[in-house]
């Protein structure tokens, strides 16, 4: 890949960066808002990330040969897929699901020991994500397999071993395939859930191909399970460090949605999205030729002092219009209503059932590393 020699270089996978991702992004953003690694060019500033996300003609999402619906699809085809997908996350659908997620969150929170160290990621985030997702999709019998898969997937991704990641992906497709098969066998007796609805949906007046159904379901589950779990880790860690915010939200939970969004803005666990340029583009005086791989660094953009009062300043209402946790442009996260509902319900349930959430005195939180942000382990005690 050839690119402008003027672009400063960096190595996002180096030990130094991995041991302090947020700090490095903060420094990169002020020192060199565009930087190149052997794998592509990273954009760190809010304005550049938003501009690229809003220019799908110049910045294509078809970054690999593997077709992923709707993630890797460009205009004009992309709009048709979003028209099919977005109604699954309508306010009406979310209102129907909300009490079922509340019941899951309440029973999980009630089962947690008090005054004992627990890990908010493993003992709250992951089980909540899996139980809420299987409830939504109607995949009740897959809970244990999905939990095991999440752990395998996490380890395989970090191993960098292609054979392992391929095997883990195949194992996941098998879980999905079984769900599709079962509903086809049941025909009219298939359960009334989003999975059945997707199998019977049409795109452009034709039924979906199996590969398309599997791809959509993969993006609804595989991509999302981990982000809900890590997002909960980030929110719980923030609350543990900010008892004042905890008390305020306990007193008035109506502000929970913007509050959680703001906690995720400060420490956005969804680090980057990839694009590839379709033509020569200019960014801050640098010329990126067609075919340049580009990383939109949401985590850095979300801490950009040019837009936010301060990277770590907690101002939910004021910062909401610029928040990029769920992306921007045509690929903006369709699952946001679901993610936000699950996070708000779970955090609300945790606050309501406790008088305090504290960092454990006997263990240290551990950061996640690329390709994920936030926390790997958040040891806390509930009071
Ligand atoms: C805290 C949780 C979540 C975060 C932080 C998050 C974040 C994002 C971001 C930043 C994007 C934009 C990617 C891009 O521009 O290339 C995105 C896209 C997407 N998200 Fe989410 N997401 C979350 C939860 C979910 C959930 C629950 C679902 C579905 C069940 C979901 C499904 C998708 C899909 C299908 C896309 C691709 C959309 C497209 O290409 O048009 N996400 N998400």
Instruction: Give me the CATH number covering residue 139.
Output: 1.10.630.10
**Six token digits for residue 92:** 């009406």
The DSSP string of 30-60 is: HH-SEEEETTEEEE-SHHHHHHHHT-TTTEE
Q: Choose among 136, 96, 330: nearest CA to 221.
A: 136
In a domain, 84, yes or no: yes
Q: Contact 360/383 with Cβ under 8 angstroms?
A: no
Distance 192 CA to ligand 1 centre (A): 24
User: How many CB atoms neighbour CB 224 within 10 A?
Assistant: 18
Give the per-residue pLDDT at 223: 66
| Residue nearest atom 19 in ligand 1 by C-alpha distance | 333
Read off the pTM.
0.95
Domains identified in the chain, total number: 1
Give the per-residue pLDDT at 33: 93
The DSSP string of 72-103 is: TPPTTHHHHHHHHHGGGG-HHHHHHHHHHHHH
Q: Which atom of ligand 1 is nearest to the CA of 328?
A: 15
In a domain, 289, yes or no: yes
Compute the distance between CA of residue 295 and CA of residue 271 in angstroms, rounded to an integer: 9
In a domain, 23, yes or no: yes
Distance 334 CA to ligand 1 centre (A): 6
Task: List the domain range (segments joined by +) for residue 351.
Answer: 15-362
Distance 101 CA to ligand 1 centre (A): 19
User: How many CB atoms neighbour CB 207 within 10 A?
Assistant: 12
**Six token digits for residue 131:** 């139980």
* Average pLDDT for runs of 10 along the chain of length 383: 70 95 96 94 98 98 94 97 97 97 98 98 96 92 86 84 90 90 93 94 92 92 84 98 98 98 98 98 95 98 96 98 98 97 98 98 96 96 98
In a domain, 73, yes or no: yes
Distance 223 CA to ligand 1 centre (A): 8
């Amino acid at each position: 890949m050839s690119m402008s020699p003027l672009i400063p270089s960096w190595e996002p996978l180096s030990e130094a960066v991995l041991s302090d991702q947020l700090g490095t992004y903060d420094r990169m953003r002020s020192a060199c808002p565009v930087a190149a690694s052997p794998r592509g060019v990273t954009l760190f500033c809010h304005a550049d990330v938003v501009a690229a996300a809003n220019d799908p003609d110049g910045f294509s999402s078809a970054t690999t040969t593997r077709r992923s619906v709707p993630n890797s699809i460009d205009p004009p085809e992309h709009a048709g897929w979003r028209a099919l997908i977005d109604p699954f996350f309508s306010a009406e659908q979310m209102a129907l699901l909300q009490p079922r997620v509340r019941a899951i969150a309440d029973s999980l929170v009630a089962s947690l020991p008090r005054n004992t160290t627990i890990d908010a990621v493993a003992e709250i985030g992951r089980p909540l994500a899996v139980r809420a997702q299987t409830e939504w999709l109607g995949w009740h019998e897959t809970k244990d397999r999905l939990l095991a898969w999440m752990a395998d997937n996490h380890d395989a991704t970090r191993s960098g071993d292609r054979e392992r990641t391929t095997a883990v992906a195949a194992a996941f497709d098998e879980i999905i395939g079984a769900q599709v098969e079962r509903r086809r066998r049941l025909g009219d007796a298939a359960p009334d859930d989003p999975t059945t609805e997707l199998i019977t949906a049409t795109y452009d007046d034709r039924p979906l191909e199996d590969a398309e159904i599997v791809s959509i379901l993969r993006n609804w589950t595989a991509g999302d399970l981990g982000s809900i779990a890590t997002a909960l880790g980030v929110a719980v860690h923030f609350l543990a460090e900010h008892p004042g915010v905890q008390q305020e939200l306990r007193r008035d939970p109506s502000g929970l949605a913007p509050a959680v969004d703001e906690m995720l803005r400060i420490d956005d666990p969804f680090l980057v999205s990839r694009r590839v340029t379709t033509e020569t583009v200019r960014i801050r005086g640098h010329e990126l030729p067609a075919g340049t791989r580009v990383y939109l660094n949401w985590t850095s953009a979300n801490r950009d002092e040019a837009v936010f009062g301060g990277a770590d300043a907690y101002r939910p209402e004021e910062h909401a219009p610029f928040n990029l946790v769920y992306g921007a442009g045509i690929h903006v996260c369709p699952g946001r209503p679901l993610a936000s509902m699950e996070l708000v319900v779970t955090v609300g349930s945790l606050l309501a059932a406790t008088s305090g959430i504290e960092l454990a005195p006997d263990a240290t939180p551990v950061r996640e590393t690329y390709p994920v942000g936030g926390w790997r382990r958040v040891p806390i005690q509930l009071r």
